[in-house]
Amino acid sequence: MKCIDWFEELFRTTCGWIVTLCGIVALASPASAQAQTPDISTRGFSLGGHVAVIGANADSFGENGHRADPARVTAGGGGFVVAYGVNEWLTVALNGDGHESEDDRHLTFADIGAQLFVPAGNRVRPHFDVALTGRRAEFTANSAPFDTRGSSLTIGGGLLYFVSRSFALDAALLWTAGDLDRYADGKRVKDADAIGVSGIRFLIGVRWFLRR
């Protein structure tokens, strides 16, 4: 079994994330009933967790003189976000998502970027996202496994729905595209052409704003 780093190990606990998120939302709901017009703000530090539907789609490529047509990979996973709201319209965020299956297959994303919030209702805060993303995607083509890794740009958007001053429901749709390098036994394969791999993520979870 391949050695996996701390980031990929984190996503073995997806079921625990689901239970935790449900509990947090249940606790946050009574607070929203007590405050009909809470003082909502996206400023300051926030932590969050989410469940994810993750898809990876690799382009056709040449392998040993033959055309390889990889099948699309779609999987459930989980992740986390650590963010800092500089002001009401700009938030800097570190986000990680991933999936690891029992057969040691990986889909992992690590984003560092910005969320740009637009004016909206008091509780609803839509945002556009842009980030630099480190990725790992594994798939099968012509019955052979492929491990690809690299970095590229992510764009997307989502929204926060505040159920109280401290807690918000968090949803986002993110798209990432670009070429990834081939790896074997944890090392980059030299002289191998990169493979174009696009990825899409649908995330839903909660965000907790600290010290409120």
**Which is higher by pLDDT, 33 or 189?**
189
Percent of the chain predicted with pLDDT > 90? 58
Tokens standing for residue 179? 């070429």
Q: CATH top-level class for 6-209? A: mainly beta
The arithmetic mean of pLDDT across residues 163-179, rounded, is 95
Q: What is the pTM of this model?
A: 0.80
The arithmetic mean of pLDDT across residues 29-35, rounded, is 45
Helix (H) / strand (E) element for 24: namely: helix 14-34
Supply the mean pLDDT for the chain. Answer: 83
pLDDT value at position 104? 61
The arithmetic mean of pLDDT across residues 28-52, rounded, is 73
Q: Which of 22, 187, 203, 171 is nearest to 98 (CA)?
A: 203
Q: The dihedral of CA 15, 19, 20, 22: what is its sign? A: positive
One-letter amino acid for residue 6 of the chain: W
Q: Which of 55, 83, 58, 78 is nearest to 69 (CA)?
A: 58
Residue 34 has pLDDT above 80, yes or no: no
Residue 146 has pLDDT above 70, yes or no: yes
One-letter amino acid for residue 111 of the chain: D
pLDDT value at position 20? 53
48, exposed or middle or buried, with CB in 10 Å at 0-12, 13-18, 19+? buried
Q: Which of 119, 118, 107, 115 is nearest to 180 (CA)?
A: 107
Q: How confident is the model at residue 111 (pLDDT cuts 50, 70, 90)?
A: very high
pLDDT value at position 52? 95
Sequence spans of domains, the chain = 6-209
The arithmetic mean of pLDDT across residues 160-171, rounded, is 95
- Detail the DSSP E strand segments found in the chain: 44-58, 61-63, 66-68, 73-85, 90-100, 106-117, 124-141, 144-162, 167-177, 179-184, 187-188, 195-209
What is the rounded distance in angstroms from the CA atom of residue 110 to the CA atom of residue 95? 6
pLDDT value at position 26? 45
Residue 1 has pLDDT above 60, yes or no: no
Per-residue pLDDT tens digits for 182-192: 998 889 998 88
Other C-beta atoms within 10 Å of 67: how many?
A: 10
